[in-house]
Amino acid sequence: MLKPILLVEDAPNDIEIALYALKKCGVKNEIVVARDGIEALDYLLCRNAFLGREGGNPGLVLLDLKLPTVDGIAVLQTIRSTPALASIPVIVLTGSAMEADVSRTVALGIEKYVVKPMDLQYFIDQMCEIAAQFIRH
């Protein structure tokens, strides 16, 4: 069974582009979209709307940093500090090229940091590279 991918993104256009890129890369996994940090944490921790959800942990988290309610750094800190979640690979997909964000997320143990927006083909290439490395399909 393919593990789902959790896409944590609040911008509808960026969600659409990420889904398109994953499809172009041949990814067959279910993509669960969380539109803010609270929804992402609810999904990961199986609480509130996701209480009793089946399927275990996602195989990959694609995480924006600039989110409403709870930001991506806080989501990442929770993932890395929760033993049941700590081994999930996390790829940061964000508009922030700030060195402080890069350093902080790398220190927390991300697998890759991708700055958006970018050329669509370059983004697809980046997503295909991520899929090849982190997604079983």
Report yes or no on 118 lying in a domain.
yes
| pLDDT confidence of residue 52 | 87
At residue 21 the predicted structure's pLDDT band, cuts being 50, 70 and 90, is very high
Report yes or no on 27 lying in a domain.
yes
Helices (H), the chain: 12-24, 37-44, 72-81, 99-107, 120-134
Tokens 């940091």: give the residue: 113
Report yes or no on 137 lying in a domain.
no
User: Domain total for the chain?
Assistant: 1
Number of other CB atoms surrounding residue 87 within 10 Å: 10
The answer to whether the pTM exceeds 0.85 is yes
Between CA 127 and CA 54 the distance in angstroms is 26
Residue 24 structural domain: 6-132
Report the pLDDT averaged over residues 41-65.
Answer: 93
In the sheet with 112-115, reading across from the earlier edge strand, the strands are 31-34, 5-8, 60-63, 90-94, 112-115
Report yes or no on 1 lying in a domain.
no
Token digits of residue 121: 């083909």
Tens of pLDDT, residues 102-111: 999 999 999 9
Tell me the CATH number at 128.
3.40.50.2300
Token digits of residue 129: 């590279």
